[in-house]
Structure 1
């Protein structure tokens, strides 16, 4: 009896093997920004072609390097675009109260002085999110941490999550998931080839909800709908003991972060509901254990 139950916070268990559309993650990032500010969303959407336009000019990369105050000279326009992509994705994924980073980014973009062009507004969003710095390291999100290395290893070795984007389906430029490139990258980093079909093979097929209904119990799947990973999450109860709890304004793993006095009431209530469910499991377990002991006597 190692475990009686589980709280699976922000677990995208339906994002494997094309069960969820590839663009699910970035669709929610886009939705978060659009709901925060339509003008901010439109500016971001227009900015990618503007970056390409400037980059194609003579000394275009030098111009972009200066305008975005990059710590190192840009060698390719995609270095800047990847950096901005990471800012927007992280702001949406960890759009936690009370600061709400998406609102912070959009506040910078929308709050730029009148007459500021698109790239100037985008840079104002970077400053609002990252703070006022002497320069901005476009490699900031590439440096390994224990969490990033662990998660990268897990997605390479077991849990291949095919996140991608099509044409005009998000506020980002198209970037479909490329399995061949992903395999090459994983082999380079860890020496292991990814197994994109492992989850659905090991756990018995693509209909993971049906499998959970038949064989699982005592699981809470909690999701915040502002978390891009919720696109691959369980959002409805599967059975009386496999339950789904979601909050409209929640972000990634917010319910398992330490409680704060500034926590909104909906978050406090979510945690209370989860605790009550877990207490119910423990109460039932102890009652069953007592009944079993009495039966044996």
Structure 2
């Protein structure tokens, strides 16, 4: 369960243009990073920040401790409530700025990309369009095979190096071959900061590393995180044992630290992690597992009953997870047919090296429901700040997105200007 849709803080950014600009509009961003510095001037925007409820400083009930104290106070913590916050915020902001005629575009990445697409569907009278980057909106209600993300991670590694892929695939059974008396040996071999309590802790940590490398591959231009791991693994003599090669890959990826923290991906007291855990147990439920031997990972099927029991152990037996809620609230099944009937002006952007691209929309649905993807792109790469070393394909992806958004703005302004002329003539 370590290739789950993960924890990019859904911090929002409100961008606004002064009324004096020829093209006036507001843009709401549900992302934890800033939009490309080259995108802002081309669209004529300035930026301000606003946070998703229960994350960061936007905590109700006076304190984080009180807000997270029970399921009653946490009951207001969900995606639908967050979208309603954004709707109210935009309306109030436009009123305060005397910018009621200013069009709005919503942009988001990862979970924020899901929010962006849903916002456009739920509040089309408030947002004229949405850019949903790396948004796995189909990863719900058993719409997809539960191992889709792991298949993509495995493909990324296999394309980089067949021997690296095989080494990782073989490593799990070798870890399992050690009994519990060998936990101290494994702790020392992998240079872990804290003693292992179970072998599963080590395997979960390694899974997280491989998923992380695939998800954020090429975030820096010309640097493949998957390749770094594989170079470490393949750089050790074939005569060395499998686990020695795995450790070499870990050293290459992490920079050969004195020790490695197996909790680095899921710090037990991290408030962002704890917030996402609540959402993952309530409305943002995904069925992540592996039922077939078609990945470099061990078979580990998703068990919904076990998942629900785990959530209830944390939040109490009264908690009722809603695995069908997202599909009911926003749609998901037969997405092409559904969106053709009532959706418009959404860009679904993806990079195919990102494990979560498999949960996104990868084909055009209509002229205004457009899928833009890159073969070598990774998670949210298109909405990260531009870099002079960016490859041509990434620049082209961003340019396509900007052109489409400019078209939405022009269309809105054209309709609005015609309305003004008509109103004046009456």
| Normalised TM-score (structure 1) | 0.94
Question: Comparing 202-211 with 82-91, which one deviates more in the overlay?
Answer: 202-211
Structure 1 runs of 4+ off > 6 angstroms?
none
For 1:277, the equivalent position in structure 2 comes to 404
Contact residue 203 and residue 211 of structure 1 kept, 8 A: no
CA RMSD, aligned part only? 1.7
Q: Deviations over 1:188-245 (max 9, x none)?
A: 4456432111122223562122111111111000011001111111000011111000
2: distance between equivalents of 1:179 and 1:88? 24
> Which of residues 225, 230, 249 is equivalent to 1:125?
249
1: distance between equivalents of 2:315 and 2:401? 37
> Which of residues 196, 201, 206 is equivalent to 2:333?
206
2: distance between equivalents of 1:188 and 1:119? 34
More strand, by proportion: 2
1: distance between equivalents of 2:271 and 2:373? 28
1: distance between equivalents of 2:314 and 2:386? 36
Q: Deviation at 1:149?
A: 4.1
Q: Deviations over 1:89-114 (max 9, x none)?
A: 00001112332110111010001145
> Which of residues 186, 201, 205 is equivalent to 1:83?
205
Q: Please state whether the residue corresponding to 2:232 is helix, strand or coil.
A: helix
2: distance between equivalents of 1:42 and 1:257? 33
Contact residue 94 and residue 252 of structure 1 kept, 8 A: yes
> Which of residues 205, 221, 242 is equivalent to 2:369?
242
Q: Deviations over 1:127-160 (max 9, x none)?
A: 0111111111112111155654444333333221
Q: Confirm whether residue 35 of structure 1 aligns to residue 120 of structure 2.
A: no
Q: Deviation at 1:16?
A: 1.1
For 1:141, the equivalent position in structure 2 comes to 265
In structure 2, do the counterparts of structure 1 residues 128 and 221 end up closer, same or farther at CA, with 3 Å as the change threshold? same
2: distance between equivalents of 1:185 and 1:207? 31
Counterparts of 1:109-188 in structure 2 under 5 Å? Answer: 109-143=233-267, 145=270, 147-188=272-313
For 2:224, the equivalent position in structure 1 comes to 100
In structure 2, do the counterparts of structure 1 residues 37 and 277 end up closer, same or farther at CA, with 3 Å as the change threshold? same
For 2:31, the equivalent position in structure 1 comes to none
2: distance between equivalents of 1:10 and 1:190? 30
Q: Deviations over 1:259-279 (max 9, x none)?
A: 112211111110010000000
For 2:112, the equivalent position in structure 1 comes to none
For 2:91, the equivalent position in structure 1 comes to none
Contact residue 94 and residue 251 of structure 1 kept, 8 A: yes
- Unmatched segments (≥5 aa) in structure 2: 1-124
In structure 2, do the counterparts of structure 1 residues 122 and 101 end up closer, same or farther at CA, with 3 Å as the change threshold? same
Contact residue 282 and residue 323 of structure 2 kept, 8 A: no
Q: Confirm whether residue 290 of structure 1 aligns to residue 417 of structure 2.
A: yes
Q: Deviations over 1:63-93 (max 9, x none)?
A: 2112111112212111110010000000001
In structure 2, do the counterparts of structure 1 residues 265 and 204 end up closer, same or farther at CA, with 3 Å as the change threshold? closer
- Unmatched segments (≥5 aa) in structure 1: none
Question: Comparing 66-75 with 147-156, which one deviates more in the overlay?
Answer: 147-156
Aligned length: 295
